Structure formats: structure tokens, C-alpha cells
Structure 1
Amino acid sequence: MVADAEKYRALDEKVAQRIQARNSLESYAYNLRNTLQHNEKVAGRIDIDDKRKLENVIKEAITWFENNQEAEKEEYEYKQKSIEETANPIMMKLFWLSEEVD
């Protein structure tokens, strides 16, 4: 009985980590999309090419997410890192631009 409990505990932990990675990816993609669509400060300062890049990577990530609800933790983490590789430099550029203006 103890062995079964340990086995299920490990399985539960793995499932919890997968769900956490999935939720993290989903939250990141939707928050980024909402920032682009609803934050006038961001929308007004972002370069049109950068905005297109972000919109494309977000759309691709959301589509991937919707089609891969049962992906592994590592797949969700990889997808989020790929979004961050595009988004972080653009958002940092916005941050520095806003610092110069303020």
C-alpha cells in the first residue's frame, strides 16, 4: 500500500508540474496579447514590424496551445521560451524607450 501511495504521489507531482507549465504558457501568451491590444502606451510606442512579430508569435503559440492540451511539461516550457525569445527584446526596447521619454 505504501508503494502504491509513493507511485501515485510521483504521478500526481508530474501531472501538477505539467499543468503548471501549461497554465504558465497560456497566461503568458494571453497577457502579452492583451497588452498589445489594450495598452495604449504599448500600442503607441511599439514599432509596426515588432508588433507584427509579436502578434504572429502569440497567434502561433495560442493555436499550438489549443491543439496540444495534453503536451508534456517540457513542450510547454519550450514553447514559452520560444515566445520569450521574440517578446523579451521587443518589450525591453519599449521599456528603454519609455525611460527616455519619461
Structure 2
Amino acid sequence: MVADAEKYRAEDEKVAQRIQARNSLESYAYNLRNTLQDEKVAGRIDVDDKRKLEDVIKEAITWFENNQEAETEEYEYKQKSVEETANPIMMKLFWSIEKVD
């Protein structure tokens, strides 16, 4: 009985980690999309950067919708890939806002 409980606990933890990774990717993609739709941001971001972000966000959301049962590592990898594109652009945007304000 104790062995079964340990087995199920480990499985539950694995499922919880997968759900957390999935939620993290989903939240990140939608938050980026919402940020881009903000009028204050839209006017301050370079057109090419905005296009890059829109493309990577759209691709991430499509991937997410088509891979609901992906493994934790797959969700984490996808999020890191989105972050590699988004972070430099968002930092540039942040610094442009800081200079203006």
C-alpha cells in the first residue's frame, strides 16, 4: 500500500510539473500578445520587431493548441525558444521607454 502511494505521488508530481509548464507557456504567449496589442507599446516598438514577435507568438499558440499532451521538457523548450526571440525585443522596448520617461 505504501509503495502504491509513493508510486502515485511521483506520478502526480510529474503531472503537476507538466501542467505548470503548459500553463507557463500559455500565459507567457498570451501576455506577450496582449502587450503587443497595448496602444502604448504598439507605437514604441519597431515594425520589424513587432512582426517577429507576432510570428513567434502565433507559432507558439498554434504549437500549444496542437500539443496539449506534450511533455514538461517540450513545453519548457518551446517557452525558451519564444523567450530567445522576445526577450531582446522587450528589453529594447523597455530601454526606449526608460529613455523617454
TM-score class, shorter-chain normalisation, is over 0.9
The equivalent residue for 2:30 is: 30
Aligned identity (percent) is 91
State how far apart, in whole Å, the 1-side matches of 2:44 and 2:32 are. Answer: 15
Query: Structure 2 length as normaliser, TM-score?
Result: 0.99
State how far apart, in whole Å, the 2-side matches of 1:99 and 1:9 are. Answer: 47
Runs of 4+ in 1 over 3 A off after TM superposition: none
Deviations 1:33-73 (A, max 9, x none): 01111x11110000000000000000000000000000000
State how far apart, in whole Å, the 2-side matches of 1:81 and 1:42 are. Answer: 23
State how far apart, in whole Å, the 2-side matches of 1:98 and 1:65 are. Answer: 31
State how far apart, in whole Å, the 2-side matches of 1:14 and 1:25 are. Answer: 17
SS of the residue 1:45 aligns to: coil
The equivalent residue for 1:47 is: 46
State how far apart, in whole Å, the 1-side matches of 2:35 and 2:75 are. Answer: 21
Q: Which runs of 5+ in 1 are unaligned?
A: none
SS of the residue 2:9 aligns to: helix
> RMSD in angstroms over aligned alpha carbons?
0.4
Q: Give the number of equivalent residue pairs.
A: 101
CA drift of 1:6 comes to: 0.1
Deviations 1:3-43 (A, max 9, x none): 00000000000000000000000000001001111x11110
